[in-house]
């Protein structure tokens, strides 16, 4: 399935979830209201999700004068990848990590943490940046940005369903929602959104690793960077909105064994082994 098709499938699934929760809240009237809201959210997510993602992660855009070495590195790798120069952003965090966002290569941004710049050597930093440019080249950053925006909205609707059930909410035409459906929506809607994110995000990371290794020409350096990033992020998790965690190159949040089963990131050792196999070839 192409990345463009995945985007449309994801957006359609979000619309369906909105409508199901809306029906649980207020019957047919609630379902139609949720449909209107979902369409508006998808329109907003397409045009503005990159700005929301950058703001949500407190990323600030910088110029060449602010960090000439980083700017030059990204410019060089973007040229190798045949991409226009993305916006360059910094996240003030001691934890090394990075993400890309934007709806297409012409409206893309690469964000790195201050910890990444400080702790990675030149080859490792190249590998991480190349991975993020791989997301841009594969045109899968749109779905990443949309999912980060929409996941929060799904949780919000589930909370609305909970309060509506507690206080006997009814639609504007007097048609009441189904209490059992409301309970199901509270449990299932956020879980379904997470499962959709997980399925799409895991395949995106493998593809971006392969594309990034090809761009930088050094799969081993990217593999080494992933191992170090995983270790640092376990020791010093980032304080970010969980909805945006799947945008980062490695999981920036603390995760136990159960949480790892639902992680939007594939196992780091599997990613490393694939990269090392590329290096041997």
As a whole number, mean pLDDT of residues 179-197 equals 66
Quote the tokens at residue 179: 């209490």
When pLDDT is cut at 50, 70 and 90, the band that residue 261 belongs to is very low
Distance CA 21, CA 155 (A): 10
Quote the tokens at residue 268: 């780091």
Q: Are 131 and 212 in contact (CB under 8 A)?
A: yes
The pLDDT assigned to 148 comes to: 61
Residue 167 in this model has a pLDDT that exceeds 60? no
pTM over 0.85: no
The domain total for the chain is: 1
As a whole number, mean pLDDT of residues 233-257 equals 82
Does residue 230 carry a catalytic annotation?
no
Q: Are 39 and 186 in contact (CB under 8 A)?
A: no
- Between 10 and 268, where is the model more confident? 268
Local structure of 108: helix, strand or coil:
strand
Residue 144 in this model has a pLDDT that exceeds 70? no
Distance CA 81, CA 132 (A): 11
User: Across the chain, what does the average pLDDT equal?
Assistant: 82
Residue 194 in this model has a pLDDT that exceeds 90? no
Q: Residue 114: give the domain boundaries.
A: 3-280
The pLDDT assigned to 39 comes to: 78
Distance CA 16, CA 12 (A): 6
Q: Which of 124, 126, 132, 230 is catalytic?
A: 132
Q: What residues are paired with 60 via a beta bridge? A: 90
**E strand or H helix that includes residue 179:** helix 179-216
As a whole number, mean pLDDT of residues 6-19 equals 73
When pLDDT is cut at 50, 70 and 90, the band that residue 150 belongs to is low
């Amino acid at each position: 399935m192409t990345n463009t098709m995945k985007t449309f499938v994801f957006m359609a699934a979000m619309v369906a979830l909105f409508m199901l929760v809306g029906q649980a809240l207020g019957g047919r009237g609630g379902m139609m209201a949720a449909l209107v809201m979902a369409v508006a959210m998808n329109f907003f997510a397409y045009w503005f999700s990159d700005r929301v993602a950058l703001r949500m992660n407190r990323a600030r855009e910088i110029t060449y004068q602010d960090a000439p070495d980083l700017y030059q590195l990204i410019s060089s790798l973007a040229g190798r990848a045949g991409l226009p120069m993305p916006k360059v952003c910094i996240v003030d965090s001691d934890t090394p990590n990075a993400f890309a966002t934007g709806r297409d290569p012409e409206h893309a941004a690469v964000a790195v943490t201050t910890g990444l710049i400080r702790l990675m050597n030149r080859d490792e930093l190249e590998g991480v940046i190349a991975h993020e440019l791989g997301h841009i080249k594969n045109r899968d950053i749109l779905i990443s940005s949309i999912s980060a925006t929409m996941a929060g909205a799904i949780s919000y609707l589930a909370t609305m369903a909970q309060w509506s059930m507690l206080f006997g909410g009814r639609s504007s035409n007097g048609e009441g929602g189904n209490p059992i459906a409301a309970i199901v929506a509270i449990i299932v809607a956020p879980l379904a959104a997470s499962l959709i994110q997980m399925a799409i995000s895991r395949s995106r990371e493998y593809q971006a690793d392969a594309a990034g290794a090809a761009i930088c020409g050094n799969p081993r350096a990217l593999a080494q960077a992933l191992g170090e990033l995983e270790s640092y992020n376990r020791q010093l998790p980032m304080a970010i909105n969980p909805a945006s965690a799947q945008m980062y190159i490695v999981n920036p949040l603390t995760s136990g064994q159960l949480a790892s089963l639902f992680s939007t990131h594939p196992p780091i050792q599997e990613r490393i082994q694939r990269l090392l196999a590329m290096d041997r070839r």
